[in-house]
């Protein structure tokens, strides 16, 4: 009987917890609705008055940064010697420099690829040597197994011969 009461008590506690959780989660929305009053539909809604906005006009780019509007600044970069040197180069010189950079990158890539290839060949050679050692050991073991098998066959023949002789002499054995 007490287990039935415990089950009913647990169910009541679970229902109470569910109701409390639902109220806790929805309380802010209910509180807002209660404070504003329930308004069902547009018939109960009070008409809003016109909004009064006293905002200043948006700032223009001239007001924020007057120097940015004039994009044709003539002395821009005149005091930067590196920039001046770059700007004085001819188009062909720039293309030549770009090709030299690409060639250097390609050579570095080729060097890295060659080192990787050499390392791969070294590892392959090492694995090949290990495989050859393993094959030689397997062959040695196979030869030893064959010799032991032949020896076992000879031993069985000798044992059978002695057993026949013993039976002739009256041995009854197992």
In-domain check, residue 26: no
Residue 147, pLDDT > 80, answer yes
In-domain check, residue 159: yes
pTM of the model: 0.35
Q: Which domain holds residue 110?
A: 100-168
Structural domain count of the chain: 1
Report the pLDDT value the prediction gives residue 154, as an integer from 0 to 100. Answer: 96
Please give the residue that has the higher pLDDT: either 126 or 56. Answer: 126
Contacts of 167 (CB under 8 A, 6+ apart): 173
In-domain check, residue 30: no
In-domain check, residue 163: yes
pLDDT digits (tens, 9 = 90+) for 21-44: 888 888 877 777 777 765 554 445
The whole-angstrom separation of Cα 1 and Cα 9 is 12
Does residue 84 contact residue 77 with C-beta atoms inside 8 Å?
Answer: yes
In-domain check, residue 55: no
Contacts of 78 (CB under 8 A, 6+ apart): 84
In-domain check, residue 35: no
In-domain check, residue 154: yes
In-domain check, residue 71: no
**Confidence band of 4 (pLDDT split at 50, 70, 90):** confident
The mean pLDDT of 148-161, rounded to a whole number, is 96
pLDDT digits (tens, 9 = 90+) for 38-72: 555 444 555 666 766 777 777 666 666 666 555 55
């Amino acid at each position: 009987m007490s287990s039935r009461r415990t089950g009913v008590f647990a169910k009541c506690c679970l229902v109470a917890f569910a109701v409390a959780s639902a109220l806790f989660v929805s309380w802010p929305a209910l509180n807002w609705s209660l404070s504003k009053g329930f308004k069902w539909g547009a018939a109960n809604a009070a008409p809003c008055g016109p909004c009064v906005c006293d905002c200043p006009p948006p700032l223009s780019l001239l007001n924020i940064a007057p120097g940015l509007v004039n994009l044709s600044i003539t002395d821009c970069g005149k005091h930067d010697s590196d920039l001046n040197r770059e700007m004085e180069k001819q188009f062909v010189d720039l293309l030549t420099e770009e090709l030299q950079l690409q060639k250097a990158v390609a050579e570095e890539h080729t060097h890295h690829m060659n080192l990787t290839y050499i390392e791969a060949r070294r590892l392959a050679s090492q694995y090949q040597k290990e495989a050859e050692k393993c094959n030689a050991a397997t062959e040695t073991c196979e030869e030893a197994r064959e010799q032991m098998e032949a020896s076992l066959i000879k031993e069985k023949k000798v044992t059978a011969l002695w057993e026949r002789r013993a039976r002739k002499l009256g041995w009854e054995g197992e």
